[in-house]
Amino acid sequence: MTQQVPLFINGEFCQSRSEQWIPVTDPATQDVICEVPCATADEMEAAIASAKEAFKTWKEVPVSERARLMMRYQALLKEHQEEIAEILAKETGKTFEDAKGDVWRGIEVVEQAANVPSLMMGETVENVARAIDTYSYIQPLGVCVGITPFNFPAMIPLWMFPMAIACGNTFILKPSEQDPLTPTRLAELFVEAGAPKGVLQVVHGGKDQVNTLLTHPEIKAISFVGSVAVGQHVYKTGTDHMKRVQSFAGAKNHMVIMPDANKQQVINNLVGASVGAAGQRCMAISVAVFVGAAKEWIPELKEAMAGVRPGAWNDASAGYGPQISPQAKARILSLIEQGKQEGAECLLDGSNCQVEGYPNGNWVGPTLFTKVKPEMTIYKEEIFGPVLSCVEADSLEEAIGLINASPYGNGTSIFTASGAAARKFQHEIEVGQVGINIPIPVPLPFFSFTGWKGSFYGDQHAYGKQAVRFYTETKTITARWFDSDIPAGGVNMTINLR
């Protein structure tokens, strides 16, 4: 029988009673790996009730104990990194090395969650008035929710629930229905690390299950990563129901190439940033802006991209894996065709890509367009595939104006040998994450992931200090004690710090 993915409710992995199951397929073969349930209304209510009940005791657990749970968890994740990566690679199609990177970036966030005591420190001012002190506490919200995408099934859940739980909240994770086995393994290891019953729940499903979480009165905060349309729905629905929401949506990331940059470094970095992970990452570079004479490097870029080929997860020589689904592949091929019809020049066409031994895989080869204009569909839409569009600009000012006109602002980068050009770019660009001679500027977790404009809806961003602020509320106390209240003989207290 096909493996059926369990729910994780009230500290137990349990078989769903759902009558609706979604097949999970290997994107390289279309073979069914497992089936994932659409949780029933009763199962959703049970998960929410369990999280609410667990919050009553978890919020009282000392912050140092919560931090030690995260220390144990990150040690287990490191111990099982390759095992998790293999599960992840098989269900997403990522190459094994790429999958290991997915897991490792999540581990780094768990390490940051282990530092939560220092991140939850409040503020104190003595004598704001005569004999009156004011101080603030950082306190958890309650039941929080994470809705995560298919493209990083380890990293993005680990962006969310460790930070939220370390802050004293309980958490309900609704991972992508396209690769549920990785989050299930993450939950198993969290239990092994000593997570108390009910602190984490994992439910599965689609739009109905998501809407239950967005509208339920017991849910206090929602974290989401995914497409533009769903991200807008999550943000609007969640905030309409008076919830705190952070919603990471689409992207169209540009890389500016100045003519004084190191040519080989540009080509090497641009190839990996555009086709790596099959282009299925929100920080992928999908537009290269060649300034002035830098456009002369495009033929060499084409040659380098042509040398990259997709392959199965365990093919060490493969540059990247398949698209996640036949539907995703079909959409990419349609956009490639539309680019040709709208007048862009397709220098390298991956539409008919085949991988030996995997005739049914969702393969798209590296694709390179030149003569791309801002009004073209391939320029405006997030393709989410191994497709790079080349645009030419006469000056850095023109390149900055082009990027700032985009409705998205997730990431951008510039390659240059000029400190002045880099300084101007980083100051004037209207994008949340900027790389200088770095193609994909994803910050380490002691900073925050800070998309702008149509790439993010909300106020506080993911991981780092902003995540702590998102998952907590600040309470400010103003206190006065009268000398007449001091008992005769003073105070004798014994404090147990164990």
DSSP H stretches of helix in 37-175: 41-58, 63-79, 81-92, 96-113, 116-119, 155-166
Q: Do the beta carbons of residue 314 and residue 370 sit within 8 Å?
A: no
Strands 387-393 and 285-291: parallel
Q: Do the beta carbons of residue 21 and residue 38 sit within 8 Å?
A: yes
Q: Do the beta carbons of residue 171 and residue 470 sit within 8 Å?
A: no
Report the DSSP beta bridge partners of residue 449.
462
Q: How far apart are CA 132 and CA 479, in angstroms?
A: 6
Q: Do the beta carbons of residue 348 and residue 302 sit within 8 Å?
A: yes
The catalytic residue among 282, 346, 353, 390 is 282
DSSP H stretches of helix in 153-293: 155-166, 181-192, 207-215, 228-240, 263-275
Strands 408-409 and 433-436: unpaired
- Looking at residue 476, the DSSP 8-state letter turns out to be E
282 is catalytic: yes
Task: Write the CA distances from 267 to 168, 288, 291, integer angstroms.
Answer: 46, 11, 14
Using alpha carbons, select from 76, 110, 79, 77 the residue that is nearest to residue 445.
Answer: 110
Using alpha carbons, select from 137, 143, 179, 182 the residue that is nearest to residue 161.
Answer: 143
Q: How far apart are CA 402 and CA 399, in angstroms?
A: 5
Report the DSSP beta bridge partners of residue 473.
139
- Looking at residue 282, the DSSP 8-state letter turns out to be T
For the chain, report the end-to-end CA distance as a whole number of angstroms: 50
Amino acid at 172: I
* Catalytic residue positions, numbered: 282
